[in-house]
Amino acid sequence: MIKYNTLRLLSIAALVALSGCSSIVTFTSDIEGADVHTVDGVHYGKTPIDIRYDNDMLASSRNAHGCSQIPGVIYTWSSGAQARSDNPIVLCNDASHYTVSLNRPSEHPDLETDLRLALERQQARERVLRQELELERMRNEMFFFGPGFGMRGAILFPMTGPRPAHPHPPRPPRH
């Protein structure tokens, strides 16, 4: 029993230790949907996107001021507009969450294209959210009013409206 409890305690301690081993950098843009690539060519995805960095890697990249450094990024919108961050990106304050935000260059043409695609992405996210909410509503209904609800419903929620009319009692026979 003691071995089991010790093993269990060590497992919990390892999970707690591992959960604090990374920092998150959120890459955002004023018009969402820009492709995010590092200057090294690694594709992260479309804005907004969260990228997890190992804290040991960040610690090994600290500069003289104690700030971590990650490779710079290039945002590319569907219209071809590009924005570049500093290279390297400097992360200070020993936080567990950082945000890198770049704006689409206003002088680049085809703003409407990027706005339309950003709107389509937002509408798609809203559709997914509505579907998830509907599924959750259905799960909740199944939990409370699941299969076989019949008699439980009659007991839990008796009919409160007017009572149906009862037939008159039978008349005695006439002699």
pLDDT score recorded for residue 38: 92
Percentage of the chain exceeding pLDDT 90: 41
pLDDT score recorded for residue 93: 80
Tell me: the pLDDT tens digits for 80-116?
Answer: 999 999 888 988 887 789 999 999 998 999 899 999 9
pLDDT band at 142 (very low <50, low <70, confident <90, very high): confident
Q: Report CA torsion sign: 9, 15, 19, 21.
A: positive
Helix/strand/coil (H, E, C) string of the chain?
Answer: CHHHHHHHHHHHHHHHHHHCCEEEEEEEECCCCCEEEECCCCEEEECCEEEEEEHHHHHHCCCCCCCEEECCEEEECCCCCEEECCCCEEECCCCCEEEEEECCCCCCCCHHHHHHHHHHHHHHHHHHHHHHHHHHHHHHHHHHHCCCHHHHHHHHCCCCCCCCCCCCCCCCCCC
The full set of domain ranges for the chain reads 22-144
For residue 123, is pLDDT > 70?
yes
Tokens encoding 15:
């999970």
Give the separation between CA 78 and CA 35, rounded to whole angstroms: 8
